[in-house]
Structure 1
Amino acid sequence: MSDDREEVKFSLNVMINKEKSKVLFAEADNHFADTLLSFLTFPLGRIFKILEKHYGDEAPTIGSLSSLYRSLANLDSSHFVTDGAKQILLNPISSFDDEIEGLKLDISDSPPVKYFYCTKSNHNEFRSVSIYYDELLLLSCCKKCFNFMKKKIVPKSSKAASSDGVFAIHKDSFIISDDLQIFPNEMGISGIITIVGIADMDKAELIKVDLGFSEIMNLLKASLTSPTPLSDLILNKTIQMNSSTVESQLNIEEENANSRALSLKVIIQKSTGKFLYAQAKEDFVEFLFSFLHIPLGGVEHLLGGKTCVKAIDNLYRSTADPINFKYFKSLNTKKRLMEPNLPHGCISDNHIFPLTEESLPPRYFINEVCLFSSLKFPNGQGSYLRGQRTYQVKDDLTVLPFCIVSILSSLREKKISISDAKEMELQIGLKEACRILKASLKQPKRED
């Protein structure tokens, strides 16, 4: 699979300024537009995983998600209901994984597809669509011939990309701005110049660029860390994300009726008002780990397209733009990109966000009894973490088992006396949860 990916190339016509300091816009086909849109389908935990796999020790820091993911990886398995529960969090799947395989270039590193099949015939086969329905009930069988069913794993294979595309339909080309706005080229040159904001086309220069697997990985990284990812990629002009310019007020009109509130004890420094750490129960930590299951499109939906990541905001808004409606394969395709469902079974009892899971189709049941059982969760649902545990959560979302000795040592190193520490009890509802999610994407300030 890796060798196949290395052979794939996208050819782009790129308009840059003559000083070669900025990409004005690029023209690309629907396959490249599909690859960009696929970024919205990646769960946050998978983004960290594929970037770390590709870049190794040089993997970029993605806000506080990097420290959250590493905390999860370093947390002893005894904190989880099963080893499988931890692995599900570390390796989140996407409800788009089947479609992603049809891309001209798939960088998602999604797991192989699992099926359950009848051992006597090929007429009955079930796609394993749940994260925890991993085994058939011992007595369940094929509904047609009443024979036992078995599990098989279908290795991923490189599929020839459909000319009709996965998300965007086949057309002559799409225009992509430096900050990842996508729009059809039918708008004409005057419309493109107006939207992209080009002051003087006489100072523009056309170049042709071929992008392969490594360049698309660089583009994914740049889209999360820079307001001008195409300039970063093509001209090697790295621009630090200025959070102050993209910060916007989060507008959440009302609490979701099904949302819950979690209690959190926060310790601050009285003399400065600075956050020191939070003392949290397993429900709050499980809520934090749930971030890793949410795809980028889901984050955008929760935050109303106003995150701290300008390029991804623009990509999402391009999906929402009515002018692009007819260029999606279907209305359902567009809706799913904008409001993606999570795979069946990944939302725990401690969720806060108004997220929706994929539902299991009727063929997964016999007489209203599900065909599948779970080895990863008690009764196939509930929680990831064992109960009655206390954790320390740092400002960068590093999660550690609560240890008073290490906390006192840390305060001593920072020359903070116990008398200068103050405890506060907070309630974390939907508004607070969205603010934490938004802050988790904010890039740390670069120290000069």
Structure 2
Amino acid sequence: MAESSGETKVYLRLVIDEEKNKVVLAEAGKDFVDVLFSFLQLPMGTIARLFKKHNKDHPVSVGCFNNLYTSVVDMGIDNFQTEACKRMLLCPRSVSDVQCQRLKVNINPTEGEKYFKCPSFSHCRLCSNFSTTRCRCGNLMKEGIHYSQLKVADNMQNGVFISGGGASTTFIITDDLEVAVKSTGLVLERLKSLGCADVSKLGEKFVGIGSKEVLTLLQCVFSSNAPLTETFLNKGSAQGLTKSYETLRPCMEEKKDEAEPEKVLTINAVVRNQDMKILFVECGEDFVELLLSFLAVSLESVLEISGNSITFGCLANLCRSFKDLSVVNEETKAASADSKGVLPCFYSFQVQLPGIITLEPPVYYRFIYSFVNKPVPIYALTRDSNKIPYYRNDKLVPVTLVDPKSHGNDHQTHCSGFLKKETQFTVSDDLVITPMSSCSTVCLLKKLQTNAEDIDVQEIDISKAEAVDLLRASLLTSCALSSALGDFIAKKPRKEPLCQTQLRRSQRKKQKVNDCQAS
């Protein structure tokens, strides 16, 4: 990513142990801390997309998420309910998109909501966020319509995510991303705990941070337990990065009995008898929908759902600091009271992770610009029912925002599922998703260099608990299916191939003949 000369930057003061070439502490204002906290609001699909663009030659892999995202890229439009479904997964929205537009350095700028209507808008009263949506009258909603956004007073005392304090408030940040309001006592405490009481051995470095550095820091958050050192002293080099999560197996929580039925869906696992490893699974679109929902969930929600059974290093530190210092997002406050994550409206999947809810679409109103003296009315939208716009008609007319996942003449406001029903897929151990074809199984076995006699097919029931285990495994490992579902594979005694059994019998018979001749 090229850095433009006029790019806005945020600034950071590094306190460095020069002998060890390691960041001891960093001092920063709200602008940088807001950027750090914005990492937690990014959907996992967005993180995979940003990593892919930032370092095309050697992108940092986040468990299996890179494969999940690439699978959506490679899937044809005919696998999805609508064209908009694929676009929604490739560029997942966040409930914090509006807040993030105020960041001094925003690595995921969005254009904001767009709205489209059909030529019969005066009668249909339907609109959509996608120009590919078809209205109930049969026309495409491809005509843009102006949206008069609600004006929200900007409290200059607060940052984007930071609550309280003045504009000059300073924070200290450890190398493993613990963030706290700066005080002399806290600085001294941190220096002593890190064995850096002798300040004569410490140096300082003042750095300006643009989008390139922020993306490098985000990568290092996933690949190192010392992301500040790796980003600003080692320049995020491949040699400096460590795969701190790659070899970990998720620590699965004990399954508890629930009042509701445990079984959610069923898949067929193709297992290699030699080591009982799951090579791939054959499944319907419901299981794939569950996997694709991972892309829409924010990093913060992934950590919340995963619970305390896994140590996420600096990610856990960042999440705790965010809870201590962040301002509440009023739009999602009520919705998230009893949940572990909130998705934007229309991000509803056939099978969804437990604790994840989808926001209801807001109510929109149509009005007409009064200063345009034309026979054809010029419409605009607003969410403010108390708005007194300059229009000829004295009423705000409610309009319906159509779910972009609906197709044909359904014009539904709620449609569950992104993929076409009754479709079949294969999913590899590292979560590469492939639409099933007549030769896909044979091709997979050839690619895996596996003999058909050495494999077995076993049926596995996936419940909410296994769904959470799969999410954890997708973040921590490159073999999500075996890690999350390996305990459900029935361990069968290994059988010798028939040809080897016959060979052993022939050898024993020959040995007996030789023994008799020798005697």
Give the TM-score normalised by the residue count of structure 2: 0.70
The RMSD of aligned alpha carbons is: 3.9
Deviations 1:8-47 (CA, angstroms, capped at 9, x unpaired): 2222121121224321121100111100000111111111
Which residue does 1:243 correspond to in 2? 245
Q: Secondary structure at the match of 1:231?
A: helix
Corresponding position: 1:152 with 2:146: yes
Moved more, 73-82 or 338-347: 338-347
d(CA) in 2 for partners of 1:376, 1:12: 44
1:395 deviates by 0.8
d(CA) in 2 for partners of 1:410, 1:263: 21
Q: Secondary structure at the match of 1:113?
A: coil
Aligned residue identity for 2:471? L
Cα distance change of structure 1 residues 265 and 28 upon mapping to structure 2, 3 Å threshold: same
Q: Secondary structure at the match of 1:214?
A: helix
d(CA) in 2 for partners of 1:265, 1:287: 16
Cα distance change of structure 1 residues 165 and 414 upon mapping to structure 2, 3 Å threshold: closer
Moved more, 182-191 or 221-230: 182-191
Aligned residue identity for 2:275? T
Cα distance change of structure 1 residues 341 and 352 upon mapping to structure 2, 3 Å threshold: closer
Q: Secondary structure at the match of 2:439?
A: helix
Aligned partners of 1:328 and 1:334 also within 8 Å: no
Q: Secondary structure at the match of 2:360?
A: coil
Deviations 1:79-120 (CA, angstroms, capped at 9, x unpaired): 111111111111111111111111111111323333589xxx
Number of equivalences: 416
Which residue does 2:186 correspond to in 1? 188
Q: Secondary structure at the match of 2:145?
A: strand
Query: Percent identity over the alignment?
Result: 26
Q: Secondary structure at the match of 1:114?
A: coil
Q: Secondary structure at the match of 1:108?
A: coil
Aligned residue identity for 1:432? E
Deviations 1:273-303 (CA, angstroms, capped at 9, x unpaired): 1221111111101111111110111111111
Moved more, 370-379 or 242-251: 242-251
1:363 deviates by 5.3
Q: Secondary structure at the match of 2:271?
A: strand
Aligned partners of 1:51 and 1:59 also within 8 Å: yes
Q: Secondary structure at the match of 2:160?
A: coil
Q: Secondary structure at the match of 2:60?
A: coil
Moved more, 333-342 or 263-272: 333-342
| Structure 1 residues 38-437: aligned runs within 5 Å | 38-114=38-114, 151-152=145-146, 162=156, 164-169=158-163, 170-186=167-183, 188-193=186-191, 197-202=193-198, 203-236=201-234, 238-243=240-245, 249-251=251-253, 254=256, 261-304=264-307, 309-320=312-323, 324=324, 327-330=325-328, 339-361=340-362, 371-378=400-407, 379-380=412-413, 381-403=415-437, 405-412=439-446, 414-437=448-471
d(CA) in 2 for partners of 1:151, 1:270: 59
Aligned residue identity for 2:194? I
Cα distance change of structure 1 residues 420 and 137 upon mapping to structure 2, 3 Å threshold: closer
Aligned partners of 1:85 and 1:377 also within 8 Å: no
Aligned residue identity for 1:45? G
| Structure 1 residues 26-41: aligned runs within 5 Å | 26-41=26-41
d(CA) in 1 for partners of 2:351, 2:455: 29
Aligned partners of 1:10 and 1:210 also within 8 Å: yes
d(CA) in 2 for partners of 1:161, 1:216: 25
d(CA) in 2 for partners of 1:316, 1:131: 34
Aligned residue identity for 1:419? E
Cα distance change of structure 1 residues 102 and 413 upon mapping to structure 2, 3 Å threshold: closer
Tell which structure's C-alpha radius of gyration is larger.
2
d(CA) in 1 for partners of 2:305, 2:259: 11
Aligned residue identity for 1:201? A
Residue 439 of structure 1 is aligned with which of 467, 470, 473? 473
Q: Secondary structure at the match of 1:61?
A: coil
Q: Secondary structure at the match of 1:56?
A: coil
Q: Secondary structure at the match of 1:289?
A: helix
Deviations 1:283-329 (CA, angstroms, capped at 9, x unpaired): 10111111111011111111126656422222112223xxx3xx433
Aligned residue identity for 1:102? R
Aligned partners of 1:280 and 1:391 also within 8 Å: yes
Cα distance change of structure 1 residues 136 and 32 upon mapping to structure 2, 3 Å threshold: farther
Aligned partners of 2:127 and 2:402 also within 8 Å: no
d(CA) in 1 for partners of 2:148, 2:343: 22
Aligned partners of 2:288 and 2:425 also within 8 Å: yes
Moved more, 252-261 or 271-280: 252-261
Q: Secondary structure at the match of 2:114?
A: strand
Which ranges in structure 1 are unaligned for 5 or more consecutive residues?
A: 118-125, 139-148
d(CA) in 1 for partners of 2:277, 2:358: 38
d(CA) in 2 for partners of 1:412, 1:331: 51
d(CA) in 1 for partners of 2:37, 2:443: 47
Aligned partners of 2:40 and 2:319 also within 8 Å: yes
Q: Secondary structure at the match of 1:388?
A: coil
Of structures 1 and 2, the one with the larger relative CO (CA 8 A, separation 6+) is 1
Which residue does 1:141 correspond to in 2? none
Q: Secondary structure at the match of 1:349?
A: coil
Cα distance change of structure 1 residues 184 and 162 upon mapping to structure 2, 3 Å threshold: same
1:243 deviates by 2.9
1:383 deviates by 1.5
Q: Secondary structure at the match of 1:433?
A: helix
Give the TM-score normalised by the residue count of structure 1: 0.80
